[in-house]
Amino acid sequence: MTGLVDRASGLTGSSVPLWKNRTARALFYQALVAGLLLLLTAFFVHNTGVNLAKRGIASGFGFLHGIAGFDISFKLVSYSLTSTYARALLIGLLNTLLVSALGVILSTILGFIVGVARLSNNWLIAKLAAVYVDVIRNIPLLAQLIFWYFGVLSTLPGVRQSIDIFSLFYLNQRGLYSPVPELQPGFGIIPVALLVGMLGAVLVSAWARRRQMLTGQPFHSFWAGLGLIIGLPLVVGLLFGFRMVWSFPELAGFNFKGGFQIAPEFIALLVGLSIHTSAFIAENVRSGVQAVSLGQTEAGLALGLKRGIVTRKIVLPQALRVIVPPLTSQYLNLTKNSSLAVFIGFPEVVAVFAGTTLNQTGQAVECIALTMAIYLVISLIISAFMNWYNRHIALVER
């Protein structure tokens, strides 16, 4: 507003009228568009409300406290047939977050490997990676999910003919069954050791970094850190005993009882999402690496550094600045794409809430609004984190 006033007052007495003032016109049109948009939004909200009332459709979020009464097969926290719709929403949300988080990690690892492989000097590896990218990118995700679920996992043997792996693991159509430790009192010391090990790894890495800055001497801080994180809990466990009992899967009645079951719906979704997204990430990685001038590599080699070090310490840090922004949208895509899970029976937030709950309660507007809000918030959080990371790795000029 101040710009307008300054301009206007500065022009007092001049021959330029207000409607020919560029700033004033810009402000006027923006206000007009914003006003119209507001009017339109208000109309839609009002119209929805009026129509809902006219059709006698109940509205409000009170239904969330009602008893859901349907089963959800895959849950991270407790849920029973007497839980509320709000609880069902939480289960769906946690499932979405779990599969998205694991999918992001897996697709990143796979994408980087394939992306770098595409640039390999080895003809076969480069071509295989190129074929992988082109095939995966050009098949719709839903088709891939259905392929993994109905095409691959469904062809596993039935429960009674399970593939027996050392009588510890069982693989069948109902998923992968593995032994699971049931923790006993006194187990707490192991996670403490793990935390100490992780802290130690951070300290070692900081120390190694400083030493290299001062003396130029490199230190294998990665391996030392890994040793600390894995070794310390192991040593503590051996000294004080691992206080846990193993629960083994056993065939009883219709299914296996005990142990830990990974549902085929979950596996199919995770594999499908990770592979699909990894192909896109591979292209991001390839373009990012190619964006770094070849001179950088040549300079590194001329200094006598090994190829691996050149890639890791010279090329990738510069490539990351190109890779990270599109990587963010791939993470967002993966998260949103997880909603296709409804077609292969995995209960994530869309299936549980925008599907079953919506239909049981008939609260379409509320259920869809909440679901959209959830995806919006998840996306904004991912976006904010990736932007922070992007600034963090941006080239610092000294």
Partner 1 sequence: MKRIVMFAAAALAVVFAVGSAQASTLDDVKARGVLNCGVNGPTGLTGFGAPDDKGNWTGLDVDLCRAVAAAIFGDATKVKYVPLGSKERFTALQSGEIDFLARNSTWTLSRDTDLGLDFVAVNYYDGQGFMVRKELGVSSAKQLSGATVCVQTGTTTEKNLGDYFRTNNLELKSVVFETADQARQAYDEGRCDAYTTDASGLASERTQLKNPGDNIILPEIISKEPLGPAVRHGDNQWGDLVRWSFFAMLIGEEFGITQANVDEMKASSDNPEVRRLLGAEDDMGKMLGVDNTWAYNIIKQVGNYGESFERNVGLKTPLALARGLNELWSKGGLQYAPPAR
**Span of 93-101, 181-189, 356-364, 386-394 interacting with partner 1 by CB under 8 A:** 356-364
First to last CA, the chain: 38
Q: Which of 47, 120, 167, 387 is close enough to bind partner 1 by CB under 8 A? A: 47
Q: Which is closer to partner 1, CB of 71 or CB of 134?
A: 71
Q: Which is closer to partner 1, CB of 200 or CB of 345?
A: 345
Contacts of 260 (CB under 8 A, 6+ apart): 177, 178, 179, 180, 247, 249
Q: What are phi and psi of 260, to 5 degrees?
A: -125, 130
Q: Provide the minimum distance between the beta carbon of 157 and partner 1 in the complex, in angstroms, as a whole number.
A: 9
**Rounded Cα gap, residues 117 and 281, in angstroms:** 13
Binding residues for partner 1, rule CB under 8 A, total 49
Q: Which is closer to partner 1, CB of 197 or CB of 355?
A: 355
Strand-pairing partners, residue 255, are: 252
Q: Does 385 bind partner 1 (CB under 8 A)?
A: no
Q: 75-134: which residues touch partner 1 (CB under 8 A)?
A: 81-82
**Rounded Cα gap, residues 97 and 379, in angstroms:** 11
**Span of 51-59, 208-216, 310-318, 327-335 interacting with partner 1 by CB under 8 A:** 51-59
At 241 the three-state DSSP class reads: coil
**Rounded Cα gap, residues 55 and 105, in angstroms:** 47
Q: Does 57 bind partner 1 (CB under 8 A)?
A: yes
- The answer to whether 347 and 93 are in contact (CB under 8 A) is no
Q: Which of 22, 54, 392, 398 is close enough to bind partner 1 by CB under 8 A? A: 54
**Rounded Cα gap, residues 262 and 260, in angstroms:** 7
Structure tokens at 375: 């995806």
Q: Does 49 bind partner 1 (CB under 8 A)?
A: no
Q: Which is closer to partner 1, CB of 153 or CB of 190?
A: 153
DSSP 342: G
Q: Does 36 bind partner 1 (CB under 8 A)?
A: yes
**Span of 56-64, 131-139, 218-226, 284-292 interacting with partner 1 by CB under 8 A:** 56-64
Residue with tokens 């990676």: 129
Q: Which residues lie near partner 1 (CB under 8 A)?
A: 29, 32-33, 36, 39-40, 43, 47, 52, 54-58, 68-73, 81-82, 150, 154-155, 158-159, 173-174, 252-255, 264-265, 342-345, 347, 351, 355-356, 358-362, 364
